Amino acid sequence: MKIKNFNTRRVLITGGAGFLGSHLCERLVSEGSEVLCVDNCFTGTRQNIFHLLNKPNFEFIRHDITFPLYLEVDEIYNLACPASPVHYQFDPVQTTKTSVHGAINMLGLAKRIKAKILQASTSEVYGDPDVHPQPETYWGRVNPIGPRSCYDEGKRCAETLFFDYYRQHNLKIKVVRIFNTYGTRMHPNDGRVVSNFIVQALKNRDITVFGDGTQTRSFCMWMI
Ligand SMILES: NC(=O)c1ccc[n+]([C@@H]2O[C@H](COP(=O)([O-])OP(=O)(O)OC[C@H]3O[C@@H](n4cnc5c(N)ncnc54)[C@H](O)[C@@H]3O)[C@@H](O)[C@H]2O)c1
């Protein structure tokens, strides 16, 4: 039986069964927060959070954040959204809906229950930048009609919504622009460079370098 402690911090993590979300769930559960993990399991899996399912301070709810959700929490981490191009281009309309409708639903919830809310944004808000490295004052160079626009523009619109909720409703927001992150529990078919290299190496295959190999990227490694 789960016994509720009314003094503990209650946290909602959307996309909590994904790569980054599952690590965040694990960390906050270990710190004693009461964690509600919401995920539609599009790219995330129950396997990623399997070790948490029997913890008294962890709960998993299968739900698509493009639909409203009514819960009582103190903090919301909005991570739900496929991050890899192969996955977000699979159903681009759903990707935009997840970023935009999802943000509207989560911000509406945060406003109603007076919760703090964090948005997992992306370096892709800078698009194909002509400034390197990008300072936060740089507004980006983004194609609004290309195959990646569902993700890039969806995330940009979500940032707009977060800052308007802050200005208009005084909501406590945080927006983090994450750069390419890799680590354990990444989807093996993620398709991005570091995991591709690792999967090819593990299979004893040649490592594929696209173009002339002079491309640059900033990487973050998820450390446990
Ligand atoms: N991994 C990176 O390098 C990176 C870089 C920049 C930004 N981000 C952002 O961080 C967040 C997490 O990324 P990740 O790498 O863990 O990706 P991921 O694909 O592993 O996790 C995303 C999770 O969101 C869930 N999801 C997708 N659509 C949903 C919906 N409509 N309703 C509920 N759940 C939904 C998926 O099932 C999955 O579990 C994403 O918002 C992503 O845009 C990640």
Q: What is the pLDDT of residues 135-168, one digit of tens each?
A: 999 999 999 999 999 999 999 999 999 999 999 9
So what's the pLDDT on residue 2?
Answer: 54
Residue 128's identity, in one-letter code, is: D
Q: What are the tens digits of pLDDT across the range 21-48? A: 999 999 999 999 999 999 999 999 999 9
Using a 6 Å cutoff on CB, does residue 96 contact ligand 1? no
Instruction: Select from 24, 78, 79, 125 the residue to mutate for testing ligand 1; criterion: most ligand atoms less than 8 Å from CB.
Output: 79
Using a 6 Å cutoff on CB, does residue 39 contact ligand 1? yes
151 included as an active-site residue = yes
| Domains of the chain and any CATH numbers | 10-181 (3.40.50.720)
pTM here is 0.95
Q: How far is the CA of 1 from the centre of ligand 1 (A)?
A: 31
State what percent of residues in the chain have pLDDT above 70: 97
CB 183 within 8 Å of CB 219: no
Q: Does residue 6 carry a pLDDT above 90?
A: no
Q: How many other C-beta atoms can be found within 10 angstroms of the C-beta atom of residue 58?
A: 21
149-169 helix and 92-113 helix, angle to the nearest 10 degrees? 20
Q: What are the tens digits of pLDDT across the range 91-110? A: 999 999 999 999 999 999 99
Catalytic residue among 70, 151, 165, 166: 151
